[in-house]
Amino acid sequence: MTFFQFQHPIFFALLLLLPILAWWAGRMGPEAAVRFSSTALARAVSRERRSQPGKLLFALRLLALAAIIIALARPQLGRINESIEAEGIDIVIALDLSFSMRALDLSTEDDIVTRLDVARRAVDNFIDQRPHDRIGLIAFAPEVYVVSPLTLNHDWLKRNLQRLDLGEIDGRGTAIGTALGASVNRLRDHPDRSRVVILLTDGENNAGTLSPLGAAEAAQAHGVRVYTIATGSSGRVALPEMDQNGRVIRDSAGRPVNRGRSEISGFDDSDLRQIAEMTGGEFFSATAAGELEQIYQRIDEMERTEIELRSYASFTELFIWPTLLGLALLGLEQLLRNTRYHRLP
């Protein structure tokens, strides 16, 4: 934002002297171009415009003084600049890609989606709310894959998030402990920053070499808070059709195709609760449509980033222009005084 100002407007008080000078000069009478021993001799000549140059010369001098007074007031063109200093948080999002994430129990009549579809939407919105935080992304099933290291390039992060799909990795198992350990490992090199893991899964730990509680102890030792989210409902849930590579078959509108398949869903969330309790985080459960986005919004509100907005102004000095104008008017006045309006003794 740009603006105009005078640094020392008090000098404008000097402009009040100019009408006084003009009034005083009027009482003294105009300055003559020719001096006579008797004014009676020049009475007729004084009616001619060229015989009264004093008015023009005096006006030029007043204008020059006005320009110099404006220069003394220091006109400036300013620009407001803002800088943001943020004490960001390092966040690793661990996302379950096991085959159970294909279940359709978080769908509505108008929105047929898998658990993974809902999770991607919620994570995408969460990333948008954290512009000043470094965020990393880990996908896991029986193995763990680093989708993105900690980064502030959130556009790139979100593109990688949207490319995640069931069937991209082997989905036959859930290694919660290994996923949490890998997430903590990504955060342990930055002890000077607040560090958080958000782990989302719909199953219980049945793969990997590290137990969930062992990984939680590592997180606790490094000061990493862990928020755990159990998604999906218990009982019989609808399943979409899958191709031979384990990918969800979708119709032309991108909706998962369901032909009446279903299976029993359920798991023990006790490990997830203990992980959150041990690390100072919190456990959440999303069993219905819309709850998962509310959970990520709640976490966003709990983990606030400290942002300091600093504003400063830079100025371009403009006093040189009225100064030059004033000097030019004085120079013109002197030139006319000594040439065309030269006063004869």
Q: What is the pLDDT of residues 327-342, one digit of tens each?
A: 998 888 888 777 876 6
- The per-residue pLDDT for 342 is 63
pLDDT at 27 over 70: no
**Cβ-contact 260, 236 below 8 angstroms:** no
Provide the domain limits for residue 59: 2-80+312-338
pTM of the model: 0.66
- The per-residue pLDDT for 341 is 67
Tell me what percent of the residues of the chain surpass a pLDDT of 70.
86
- The per-residue pLDDT for 126 is 94
Q: Which helix (H) or strand (E) holds 116?
A: helix 115-128
Q: Are residues 128 and 207 in the same domain?
A: yes
Q: Are residues 59 and 152 in the same domain?
A: no
How many domains are contained in the chain? 2
Asked whether residue 230 is domain-assigned, the answer is yes
CA distance 201 to 103: 12
CA distance 64 to 40: 34
Q: List, for residues 100-131, the tens digit of each pLDDT value.
A: 898 998 888 888 889 999 999 999 999 999 98
pLDDT at 168 over 90: no
The tokens 């808070």 sit on which residue?
Answer: 225
- Cα–Cα distances in Å, from 320 out to 2, 68, 71, 212, 213? 20, 10, 7, 72, 73
Asked whether residue 281 is domain-assigned, the answer is yes
Q: Are residues 76 and 215 in the same domain?
A: no
Q: Are residues 43 and 66 in the same domain?
A: yes
What is the pairing mode between strands 89-96 and 134-140?
A: parallel
Q: Are residues 52 and 172 in the same domain?
A: no
Q: Are residues 224 and 104 in the same domain?
A: yes
Q: Are residues 277 and 332 in the same domain?
A: no
* Residue 185 neighbours by CB distance under 10 Å: 16
Q: In the numeric block, which tokens belong to residue 172?
A: 């036959």
Q: Are residues 95 and 26 in the same domain?
A: no
Describe the strand order of the beta sheet including 75-87 as a list of residue ranges.
2-6, 75-87, 306-317
Q: Which band of pLDDT confidence, cut at 50, 70 and 90, is reported for residue 49?
A: very low
pLDDT at 36 over 60: no
Q: Are residues 247 and 152 in the same domain?
A: yes
Asked whether residue 343 is domain-assigned, the answer is no
Q: Are residues 135 and 232 in the same domain?
A: yes
Describe the strand order of the beta sheet including 134-140 as a list of residue ranges.
144-151, 134-140, 89-96, 194-201, 225-231, 283-286
Provide the CB-side half-sphere exposure for 152 (13 A, CA): 7
Q: Are residues 21 and 158 in the same domain?
A: no
Asked whether residue 344 is domain-assigned, the answer is no
